[in-house]
Chains A and B, each alone.
Chain A
């Protein structure tokens, strides 16, 4: 089945710093890849996605590129804000099946 290895946190950055959260996956076939974000006390929101190799997903200044050759989907943002403080989850999906989550990466951005 699908699985994911995600960079463990917590990650603490100063405002306007560059962010990278690593994610590698294993899956059969050609999965879609997702990054979800969870703000304190809330459910998960889709941050961005990519459905095929070399696709770049982007949203709110965050980007991730589907790298089939390295089975990776690293999340990046050039300049983080305090409001980006949350837990980030990477997940592959090969069908209408439950998403397999890693442990998540907790990001704290300080002013």
Chain B
């Protein structure tokens, strides 16, 4: 099956710094990727839809200037958490679909961000 990777798998950063998380579709092209965040013992919350070659679409309540999304190629989307604060500590997960009509989404392994 299709594979989605994320890098890094975990990161610790200091408050006020920025962190970039990469999401790659390894063996298929994805015009659309999705970014979620997950707090401990909670479900996934959709943050934004990343569109190749155009601006991302953010869900209500998600600060687009804080969570910068870039989808520069058909296999790579990046999420940059700018001026991170401890409340941004979370598990970030991306997904992508092949668009083959089955509507299956393939999920990355997630990135655990801890802001100190």
A43:B93 contact, CB within 8 angstroms: yes
**Proximity bits, A75-111, B CB within 8 Å = 1, else 0:** 0000000000000010001111111011110100000
**Residues of chain A with a CB closer than 8 A to B54's CB:** none
Contact (Cβ within 8 A) A106 B103: no
A46: which B residues are within 8 A, CB to CB? 1, 104, 106
Asked if A71 is an interface residue, CB under 8 A from chain B, the answer is: no
| Chain A residues with CB under 8 A of B78 | none
Whether B68 sits at the interface, judged by CB under 8 Å, is: no
Greatest chain B CB density within 10 A among A94, A97, A106 is at A97
- Which of B32, B36, B41, B43 lies in contact with A96, CB distance below 8 A? B32
Given contacts A43-B93, A99-B95, is CB(A31)–CB(B43) below 8 Å? no
Complex Cα spacing A51 to B106, Å: 16
Q: Scan residues 89-116 of chain B and give those whose CB is less than 8 A from a CB of chain A.
A: 93, 95, 97, 99, 102-110, 112
| Minimum CB distance partner of B38 in chain A | A38
Q: Does A36 contact B (CB under 8 A)?
A: yes
Main secondary structure, interface of B, reads: strand
Question: Main secondary structure on chain A at its contact with chain B?
Answer: loop
Residue numbers of A with Cβ under 8 A of B are: 31-32, 34, 36, 41-46, 49, 51, 89, 93-99, 101-104, 106
Whole-angstrom CA separation of A49 from B100 in the bound complex: 14
User: Do A31 and B103 touch across chains, with their CB atoms under 8 A apart?
Assistant: yes
* Contact indicator A95/B103 (Cβ below 8 Å): yes
A98 and B46 form a contact (CB under 8 A): yes
B interface, how many residues as a size bin? 20 to 34
| Complex Cα–Cα for A102 and B43 (A) | 7
Expressed in whole angstroms, the Cα–Cα distance for A44 and B36 within the complex equals 11
B34 interfacial by beta-carbon distance below 8 Å = yes
- 11 A-B Cβ contacts within 8 A? A36-B107, A42-B110, A44-B44, A44-B93, A49-B104, A51-B102, A96-B103, A99-B34, A99-B95, A99-B105, A103-B43
